[in-house]
Chains A and B, each alone.
Chain A
Amino acid sequence: MGDNITALTTIFTEFYYWVTVVMMFLIHVGFCMYEVGVSRTRNHLHTLMKNTMLIPLVTITFFFFGWWIYWAFPNGPFIYEGKGLILDGATGANQYLPWSPKMGPNLQDHITGVFWAAFLLFSWTVASIVSGAVIERIKSGAFWIIAVMIGSVTWIIDAAWGWHFDGWMVKLLGYHDAYASGVIHAIGGGTALGVLIVLGPRLGRFAADGTPRDFVPHNQWLVTIGLFLIYTGFWGFYAACNVPIISPEAIAGQITGATWTGTTIYLTPTTLSAITFNFLMSLSGGLMVAYIISKGNPFWTYSGGLAGVITASAGNDLYHPIQAFFIGGIGIYIAYYLHYWVERKFKIDDAVGAVAVHGYCGFIGCVIAGFLLWGYPSSPYEGYAAVNPIGNTIGGVIMFLVLGFIPGWVMAKILDGMGLLRVPRQVELMGLDFKSLHEEEIAREEVLRVEKAMA
């Protein structure tokens, strides 16, 4: 850090990302509360541990190879002009190999650790999206392998392709997805759907004639507070998607003048103020429509708020707040009815509506952004395609289907073939916490027996 301005900018940026990481931790707290609230009492501990333990597993694997993939894969490899991995140079991936001196305490580098962590928290989120859909019947070991796959491999490939200033999808397709409708949510929902098809519904979820039975959340309070916490953490998520302050010289693109700015991940200019308007307006659109169509059902109303934000996220750097409001409402309207249609038609048991809220809304958000932002520059650099409906729709398909659904389905098939995917029928009926709860009962009875003897 040469001069004082550079030092202040660097320390501000370091602190900025650090704060977003702390805020995003709340997303995971929220997901855990939400899932436990939805699950039945005999499956609480399993549900909680399944989601909790993805934290260390995705963290270490994101350190081993996830971060390297982000910087190495923007060309595909070999999708953009036949170019391979980006390994060397100022943005080369080799400086992010797990044994690089930058990947540890280093007084010359204030940014790598916090920027890595911000992306890592996105990784937890995307794995957690899958976690909720598959509760009460998936084996923990199988889920954790799927979590590593999406958290440290597939989502970060999609980020390198479509959420990187140099990504081939941005250059060729004009793909614009500033706050990750497709990059996080569509891939999470797509992966969940792929796994669910192989995994099958919970026992008793569908009647013999195919009519779904409602598995009522055991604790609506926990569900709603969990979703409130996800909203809260989502603020950190939005802020983390930005570069907080950068000079035109540092961007070295087409922006003229000397005005410093905040930018999106594509280095296109935006402000925290802009995304604050749109976060709240899209949240409101989602909540209002969800309340009406679900007739005030708390589960769907809260999910609708989340769905509203997710649908508008692709373009929330640029939309007018009124546009964000309506987009949020449109997203949950489509996702709500699509969820029940898919459930009845294909007997898909998505316990938390993750495929709808994240997958369908994420995909719809990409498509809408392509139309509404048609003609906007996707990048401050020359030679990039402008934002357009075809490019953003293809982008949504890549996120939901190519990098989401297909890897999820294939991995689930492999695990199922090895007998590792689904818990045995008897255990599912007894409850996945049976052993823990049985041991607790024995311990409690033993203490009671001793206490009675002492009376």
Chain B
Amino acid sequence: MGSTWAVDLANVGAVYPWLGYEVIMVVIAIIAWLIWHFVQIREEENDYAEDIKLHGSKENIKKALEERV
């Protein structure tokens, strides 16, 4: 994309910045997506382990069940 709209639009295609660098952007995005899954799964596992460690006694579970059906 040039620096003016004084053009015949029939000759204008893609208008986003960094034209020509799409592959790099996609690769970075795919890496970010995969990292997201790893981080999310690790956090979820840690949360469950912490819940069980801090609150997982029989008494606590019974109390939780009575408080919220």
Q: A-side interface residues toward B, CB under 8 Å? A: 40-42, 57, 60-61, 64, 98-101, 104-108, 139-141, 144-145, 218, 420, 423-424, 426-427, 429-431, 434-435, 437-438
Question: What is the CB-to-nearest-CB distance from A140 to chain B, in angstroms, rounded to a whole number?
Answer: 6
B56 touches A426 (CB 8 A): yes
A101 touches B48 (CB 8 A): no
A98 to B22, CA, bound (A): 8
Among B14, B26, B44, B61, contact of A429 (Cβ-Cβ < 8 Å): B61
What residues on A are CB-neighbors of B35 within 8 Å? none
What residues on A are CB-neighbors of B69 within 8 Å? 40-42, 218
Question: What is the CB-to-nearest-CB distance from A128 to chain B, in angstroms, rounded to a whole number?
Answer: 19
A107 touches B13 (CB 8 A): yes
26 contacts between A and B (CB under 8 A): A42-B64, A57-B33, A64-B30, A98-B22, A98-B26, A99-B23, A99-B25, A100-B22, A101-B14, A101-B22, A104-B22, A106-B15, A107-B12, A140-B44, A141-B41, A144-B37, A144-B40, A145-B37, A427-B48, A430-B60, A430-B65, A431-B68, A434-B51, A434-B55, A435-B47, A435-B50
A304 to B2, CA, bound (A): 56
Question: What is the CB-to-nearest-CB distance from B12 to chain A, in angstroms, rounded to a whole number?
Answer: 5
Question: What is the CB-to-nearest-CB distance from A48 to chain B, in angstroms, rounded to a whole number?
Answer: 15
Q: A104-B14, A435-B47 are in contact. Are A140 and B26 (CB under 8 A)?
A: no
A100 to B25, CA, bound (A): 12
A431 touches B64 (CB 8 A): yes
Interface string of B36-60 (1 = CB under 8 A from A): 0100110011011011100110001
Number of B residues, CB within 8 Å of A: 32
A434 to B37, CA, bound (A): 22
Among A61, A420, A438, contact of B55 (Cβ-Cβ < 8 Å): A438
Closest partner residue, chain A, to B47 (CB atom)? A435
Question: What is the CB-to-nearest-CB distance from A236 to chain B, in angstroms, rounded to a whole number?
Answer: 27
What residues on A are CB-neighbors of B6 within 8 Å? none
Q: A42-B64, A140-B40, A430-B61 are in contact. Are A105 and B52 (CB under 8 A)?
A: no
Q: A99-B26, A104-B16 are in contact. Are A141 and B37 (CB under 8 A)?
A: yes
Among A64, A107, A426, contact of B9 (Cβ-Cβ < 8 Å): A107
Given A40-B69, A57-B33, A99-B23, 7 more pairs with CB closer than 8 A: A60-B29, A64-B33, A98-B26, A99-B22, A420-B45, A424-B52, A430-B55
What residues on B are CB-neighbors of A218 within 8 Å? 69
Among A98, A420, A431, contact of B41 (Cβ-Cβ < 8 Å): A420
What residues on B are CB-neighbors of A431 within 8 Å? 64, 68
Question: What is the CB-to-nearest-CB distance from A415 to chain B, in angstroms, rounded to a whole number?
Answer: 10
B44 touches A141 (CB 8 A): yes
What residues on A are CB-neighbors of B45 within 8 Å? 420
What residues on B are CB-neighbors of A145 within 8 Å? 37
